[in-house]
Structure 1
Amino acid sequence: MNPISIWHSLWQLIRYNQRLYWADTILWLFIAGLPALPGLIIREFFNALTNESSFLLSIWGWIALFLGIGLARIVAIFTGCITKTQHRFTMSSLIRHNLLMGLMNRPGAEPLTDRGNSDRSVSPGAIISFFRDDAYQLENNVVFTNEIFGEAVFAVGSLVLLLSINAQITLLVFLPLILIIIILQRISDRLKLYRRASRQATQQVTSMVGEMFSAVQAIKVANAEESVLARLRQTCDRRQQLMVRDRLLTAILESSFENLVSIGTGVILLFAAWLMRSPNDSLSVGDLALFIYYLSYITNFFAFGGEFLAQTKQSEVSLERMAGLIDSEGSGITAHHRLYLKPIAKQTPKLPRIQSLPLLESDRLQDLLALNLTYCYPGTNRGITDVSLRLRRGSFTVITGQVGSGKTTLLRVLMGLLPMQSGEIYWNGQKVNNPSQFFAPPRSAYTPQVPQLFSNTLRENILLGLEKSNEELEMAIALAVFDRDLATMPNGLNTPIGVKGMRLSGGQLQRAATARMLIRQPDLLVFDDLSSALDVETEQKLWSRLFSIHSANPNWTPTYLVVSHRRSVLDCSDRIILLDRGRVEMTGTFDDLPSTYF
């Protein structure tokens, strides 16, 4: 990634909510600037002791001055807590919003990969570290910018003031800065390497924890609890080592910067004391006190600046990781979007209802043509190559072939769930430029081999926010041959089905997903091995009801595209596409299938 990208990204985050940022910056200037006033007071106090100043105050006057400055600083700090909290929240919300939006815009079936890490696959559990650790790193870096800005303003002011007192001593202040720059230059690559390794180790732990929770049954059936836990301990131990190495390097850098500054300060003060003993020098006691007081502003800025540059190097790693996850430039992570930050409701809100708008007659499927569709999975030679197909309105097309021949891949590429690497798709003669958005209800609906249901009621899983009457819902359930199963459930449609539909059998999952398709009345019904978990009787009844849709509802003439191996399904098809190793081996009818197929 271009090193300028991190600075551009930080600037994008600053610009997103400029009012909060600059309000926080002004407050920080106020917080950092108020302690500068006692320096001038201290100078006059010491000069007054040596009769070099006429600025005289009573003891209560000095106390009142210091108390006033302290109280003003307390008010500024409490006000700054409000602005900083709001600023942090909006920044982290924007980063996480863009990260989530980038993930949601990816093709649905494309595996999650970290393109910044040799296209290594990323499990859903590992995504937590991107949303938590990497987003927090960028958030901290932006907050650091207004603090470093405030430090810089008073460091420059202090530098000008100290130069007016004694230029020779002041120039010695830059010695620690030179050493800090040299150290950062030498260690910046190692800093990024350690941070990347610690982030990846955290990602592996969260990934394994997520996989363990999703595969509890498989672990228990295999009696593999001890081995899985041993593997988890090993992964955690490695993360601990890498995190300690990363934190240790960061702590060593911070302490080195502070020690360099402290040593440099000591050398400067020794030199100043030596000058005071010189009869030719005009450095007064008050000047020395002022010099000691304001010297910390400059030296602390150097230490602060070193930490900021080190943190920026670490933020580069976080930006690269997040951009690699959603396959975008760093600007995609910090792009400006409106955030809807509403107060938390006292009660769990219901899903918003979506009105189903029917297709215009001109948009209804008459002819679907796919030409030379090609997709190859990264790092393999598996996929599909130059596959073409044509669907007519009301037709029943079956895609078949051996395991691994590319049947599911073809459906996913056609539906936009995988990005086609070449090819064209036409709907009624009009080219489809974005299949993932085009092939959605009411144009088409798709049920994969393993349908995904949510931990909610059966009603909500079928409707997913769609506004439909109970009669329409019951009709879709009956078409999916799910009515008898529903009658045995004590709460009917209000039955909670558990995480991923764990309370339903495999066949019930498929028929619930089928009802979810049918309630939307799409023109194109796409099934990936629908009958794989059904018994013969249920399968025959399901297809019989699906084929009777047009006679029951003349306004709905669905077109079917089905993946299946079942002879009964192949026998009633209008057209069969036989795939072999990702290519079309034969297109025809049931009678055209080679005798060796069965």
Structure 2
Amino acid sequence: MTTFQFLMGLITYRTWRYVINATAWTVIYMVPIIPGLITKEFFDSLTGDASLQMGTWGIIALLLAAALARVVLIIVGFITDVNFRFRMGMMLRRNMLKHVLKQPGARAIPCSPGEAISYFRDDVEQSEEAASWSVDVFGMTCFALVSSYILIGIDAQMTLLVFVPLVLVVAVAQLATSRLQKYRAASREATSRVTGAISEMFGNVQAIQIAGAEERVIERFRKFNDTRRQTMLKDKLMGEVLDSIFTNSVNLGIGLILLLAGQKLRGGSFTVGDFSLFVYYLTFVTSIITNVGKFITYFKQMGVALDRLKGLLQGAPAGVLILKEGLRLRKGSAVKENAAAAAGAVATGPSDAEPLRSLEVEGLTYRFPETGRGIEDIRLKLDGGSFTVVTGAIGSGKTTLIRTLLGLLPKDEGTIVWNGKTVVDPGTFFTPANSAYSAQIPRMYSDTLRNNILLGQQERGDDLQQAIHTAVMEYDLDHLQNGLETMIGPRGVKLSGGQMQRTAAARMLVRDAQLYVFDDVSSALDVETEQKLWERLFQSRGDATCLVVSHRRAALTHADHIIVMKDGRIEAEGTAEELLRISATFQELWSGDERTADAALPEGAALQPET
């Protein structure tokens, strides 16, 4: 998709709004035609050359009426522009976010969250700017055509001198295209690195402090800022140089007009009214030349923004950016949508969701593009109500298997069958009320503990308290300053690793689901707390099916079925007793966990719940 096609896609999102906006600003730019003619009549009346006899007060009244009309039209124009521009920006951001959310979770964005913010903020605003200025260019073009017709009728030679600077500006702007794009792309990239670094610093405060790396991190951030300063300076300087060229070319035209007008006045072929009309229109021609130059600049910068947004799409067609769907901004439509969502939530609640009887996986394969490693030809079956543990050494493919099954990674091959029906889109299907998931690295938000568990879900009865109990968090709540209302800081920095894992488990358990997926959720827990977690889960899960990634004995001893992974494949499967006889890998994992537990807990030592 070219920059022009992108621009047309934006301005035709709501064509009628663009037409209204363009009409309003065209009228605004056309209004000065009238005061210019009135001014001409006024000065001609002083020399007896006027064609209309209105009197001084009549002319003043007309000028005031024209000025008032333009003020009112500008207010209307700002209203139409705001309604058009911000709807266009919201449409673009909505389409980008919708595309990101549809991608496998592990590959949703190709950059850091801080850099992604730069795409959503800066590049969308740049696109808005270019589309909005296209309205001005249309209105100014109409003014230029009408005023040119009037001025040519008076003196063609002087009219040519008025618009020569416009041609010069266009030529200069075209010549500056490649350098302008280069500077803008560099400044955007530098800004992305700065915002990404800020995000990383806030997300890794504890790691930075533990490593004593504050000075190194600050120095790295300072280098990013220096680079950004230099690239932004070049970008701004280029813009100012172009503005200077635009303005000075107009001043040159004004000087030529004044010299030529003086000669024509002396020759009698040019009236004072004609001169005043040229000078009056020249003020607006100056604005036209400057604004046309700005639009050309914005259009070129829009090309840079489009290239960056294409990168965020990760190979998807660029047409995704300009899909024309409703925004549902009206209060009534929002209420209806919320009511429909609530009805849908009831319809897909646990009482209505189809119970999981069997989940079968055939030939599931995913290879990481960078390394070629991953999982290969995974075949497994989960029976409804079972407790299955996936285990194996580090790097054996346990987490990759879970993420591919849930659609967080895009499978290369294989089929997933739920109760005899093929799952076409795992990423959409494996969500409540079908499935709930707790990731290996929990994601927390700078909010209260309650909101981090609920994540917008309405609190129903004692579901929250039950989830907290099952996740063995009651001891922690008693020792947190404000209990569930405690602010846990960016990415949960006020919580320990074990508290974060159990918060993630509570977040999952508060959502009724047919399948619960735990990815190494107990790796940071002590033996006693982990034992309580699995025991309480067994007591409270009812008929729910559990799929657990773990190498810990507490989970393995509760398993109905164990799958042993090695080098991305299933090496063995069975019960703990069977695997201890036939699988050397499982024997090593079992013995290793026993040694770890003995080292962590000397005989006779008393354990307190982990905090």
Q: TM-score band, normalised by the shorter chain?
A: 0.7 to 0.9
Determine what percentage of the aligned residue pairs are the same residue: 44
Greater alpha carbon shift after TM alignment, 59-68 vs 517-526: 59-68
- Matched residue type, 1:462: I
Q: Deviations over 1:445-484 (max 9, x none)?
A: 1111222334444444333344454444433333333344
- Matched residue type, 1:7: L
CA distance in 2: counterparts of 1:123 and 1:419, whole angstroms? 20
The SS at the match of 1:125 is helix
| Residue of structure 2 equivalent to 1:349 | none
Are positions 1:333 and 2:321 aligned together? yes
Are positions 1:96 and 2:96 aligned together? no
Give the alignment partner of residue 32 of structure 1, picking from 29, 33, 47. Answer: 29
Are positions 1:293 and 2:280 aligned together? yes
CA distance in 1: counterparts of 2:102 and 2:264, whole angstroms? 68
- Matched residue type, 2:57: W
- 1:179 deviates by 3.2
- Matched residue type, 2:77: G
Whether the aligned pair in 1 keeps the contact of 2:353 and 2:433 (CA below 8 Å) is: no
The SS at the match of 1:364 is coil
Are positions 1:513 and 2:513 aligned together? no
| Residue of structure 1 equivalent to 2:605 | none
Give the alignment partner of residue 583 of structure 1, picking from 539, 557, 569. Answer: 569
Are positions 1:528 and 2:516 aligned together? no
- 1:544 deviates by 2.6
- 1:415 deviates by 0.7
| Residue of structure 2 equivalent to 1:252 | 241
Whether the aligned pair in 2 keeps the contact of 1:399 and 1:576 (CA below 8 Å) is: yes
Are positions 1:381 and 2:372 aligned together? yes
- 1:522 deviates by 1.8
| Residue of structure 1 equivalent to 2:594 | none
Unaligned stretches of 5+ residues in structure 2 = 333-340, 590-611
Whether the aligned pair in 1 keeps the contact of 2:534 and 2:554 (CA below 8 Å) is: no
- Matched residue type, 1:333: L
The SS at the match of 2:523 is helix
Whether the aligned pair in 1 keeps the contact of 2:104 and 2:409 (CA below 8 Å) is: yes
Q: Deviations over 1:402-457 (max 9, x none)?
A: 22222111111111112223322111221111111111122111111222334444
The SS at the match of 1:525 is strand
| Residue of structure 1 equivalent to 2:102 | 105
- Matched residue type, 2:538: F
Sort the Cα spacing of 1:172 and 1:487 in 2 relative to 1 into closer, same or farther, 3 A: closer
- 1:593 deviates by 1.7
- 1:360 deviates by 6.7
Q: Give the 5 Å matches for 1:224-263.
A: 224-263=213-252
CA distance in 1: counterparts of 2:12 and 2:371, whole angstroms? 38
Sort the Cα spacing of 1:177 and 1:72 in 2 relative to 1 into closer, same or farther, 3 A: closer
- 1:192 deviates by 1.4
- 1:298 deviates by 4.8
- Matched residue type, 2:10: L
- Matched residue type, 2:39: I
- Matched residue type, 2:3: P
- Matched residue type, 2:583: L
CA distance in 2: counterparts of 1:206 and 1:488, whole angstroms? 35
Greater alpha carbon shift after TM alignment, 141-150 vs 508-517: 508-517
CA distance in 2: counterparts of 1:503 and 1:245, whole angstroms? 42
- 1:197 deviates by 0.7
Q: Deviations over 1:561-594 (max 9, x none)?
A: 1111124533543433333333333344423322
Q: Give the 5 Å matches for 1:297-312.
A: 297-298=284-285, 300-312=287-299
Are positions 1:9 and 2:12 aligned together? no
CA distance in 2: counterparts of 1:211 and 1:539, whole angstroms? 31
Give the alignment partner of residue 166 of structure 1, picking from 151, 155, 159. Answer: 155
Give the alignment partner of residue 220 of structure 1, picking from 209, 213, 219. Answer: 209
The SS at the match of 2:505 is helix
| Residue of structure 1 equivalent to 2:124 | 135
Whether the aligned pair in 2 keeps the contact of 1:364 and 1:523 (CA below 8 Å) is: yes
Sort the Cα spacing of 1:406 and 1:297 in 2 relative to 1 into closer, same or farther, 3 A: same
| Residue of structure 2 equivalent to 1:365 | 356
The SS at the match of 1:481 is coil
Whether the aligned pair in 1 keeps the contact of 2:202 and 2:490 (CA below 8 Å) is: no
- Matched residue type, 1:41: I
Are positions 1:446 and 2:437 aligned together? yes
Q: Deviations over 1:139-169 (max 9, x none)?
A: 2222212211211111110112223233444
| Residue of structure 2 equivalent to 1:44 | 41
| Residue of structure 1 equivalent to 2:455 | 464
Greater alpha carbon shift after TM alignment, 23-32 vs 365-374: 23-32
Sort the Cα spacing of 1:492 and 1:195 in 2 relative to 1 into closer, same or farther, 3 A: closer
| Residue of structure 1 equivalent to 2:545 | 559
Whether the aligned pair in 1 keeps the contact of 2:353 and 2:434 (CA below 8 Å) is: no
CA distance in 1: counterparts of 2:210 and 2:146, whole angstroms? 70
Whether the aligned pair in 2 keeps the contact of 1:261 and 1:300 (CA below 8 Å) is: no
Unaligned stretches of 5+ residues in structure 1 = 114-121, 344-351, 551-555
Are positions 1:123 and 2:109 aligned together? no
TM-score, structure 1 normalization: 0.85
| Residue of structure 1 equivalent to 2:608 | none
- 1:318 deviates by 1.6
TM-score, structure 2 normalization: 0.84
Sort the Cα spacing of 1:26 and 1:264 in 2 relative to 1 into closer, same or farther, 3 A: same
CA distance in 1: counterparts of 2:548 and 2:329, whole angstroms? 41
Sort the Cα spacing of 1:421 and 1:185 in 2 relative to 1 into closer, same or farther, 3 A: farther
| Residue of structure 1 equivalent to 2:597 | none
- Matched residue type, 1:238: T
- 1:199 deviates by 0.7
CA distance in 1: counterparts of 2:430 and 2:553, whole angstroms? 28
Q: Deviations over 1:292-335 (max 9, x none)?
A: 43355456434422221221110122233234224444443343
- Matched residue type, 1:309: I
| Residue of structure 1 equivalent to 2:427 | 436
- 1:529 deviates by 1.0
Are positions 1:391 and 2:382 aligned together? yes
| Residue of structure 2 equivalent to 1:147 | 136
CA distance in 2: counterparts of 1:400 and 1:542, whole angstroms? 18
Greater alpha carbon shift after TM alignment, 287-296 vs 371-380: 287-296
| Residue of structure 2 equivalent to 1:348 | none
The SS at the match of 2:186 is helix
Q: Deviations over 1:343-363 (max 9, x none)?
A: 9xxxxxxxx986584457883
CA distance in 2: counterparts of 1:177 and 1:63, whole angstroms? 32
Q: Deviations over 1:353-377 (max 9, x none)?
A: 8658445788322221222223333
